[in-house]
Amino acid sequence: MILGYLRVGLLPLLLWQTQAHAVNEDQLAVIRELGSLNGIALHCNALAETQRIKRALVLNLPKRRQLGELFDYETDKAFMAFIGENAGCPTPRSLKQRIDAALNRLEAVYKTP
């Protein structure tokens, strides 16, 4: 009997949580982009920019491990690509502008209605 009440009461809650935290492709794309920019910032020793990116993610993203893992994966991938390509660092101004644009997209795609 109690299990029946739990199923009836919990099922709508679980469905609501799943829908409330659904992530679309635009949202995933901006996380990938910020991860890539974070990898570049790490490689180029732009630690203030990495802190700014992480702060924005904490403030805007739903608290889901998978989203953090995606960000970390993209950060590692970009960092290793920079090493492998022996790429030069962008100017601090250029990097800041790219991060600003990505952060604006982050806020736009994760804006709550």
Q: Is residue 95 part of a domain?
A: yes
Q: Is residue 4 part of a domain?
A: no
Flag the least confident range among 6-20, 59-73, 88-102: 6-20
Length of the chain: 113
Range of the domain at 90: 25-109
Model confidence pLDDT, tens digit, residues 19-34: 455 678 888 999 999 9
What's the structural domain count of the chain? 1
Q: Is residue 103 part of a domain?
A: yes
Q: Is residue 30 part of a domain?
A: yes
Q: Is residue 94 part of a domain?
A: yes
H or E segment and range at residue 5 = helix 2-20
**pTM for the whole structure:** 0.76
Distance, CA of 9 to CA of 71 (rounded, Å): 34
- Find out whether 83 and 43 touch, Cβ atoms under 8 Å: yes
Distance, CA of 27 to CA of 37 (rounded, Å): 16
Nearest to 23, CA basis, from 77, 73, 65: 65
Nearest to 78, CA basis, from 46, 48, 33: 33
Q: Is residue 8 part of a domain?
A: no
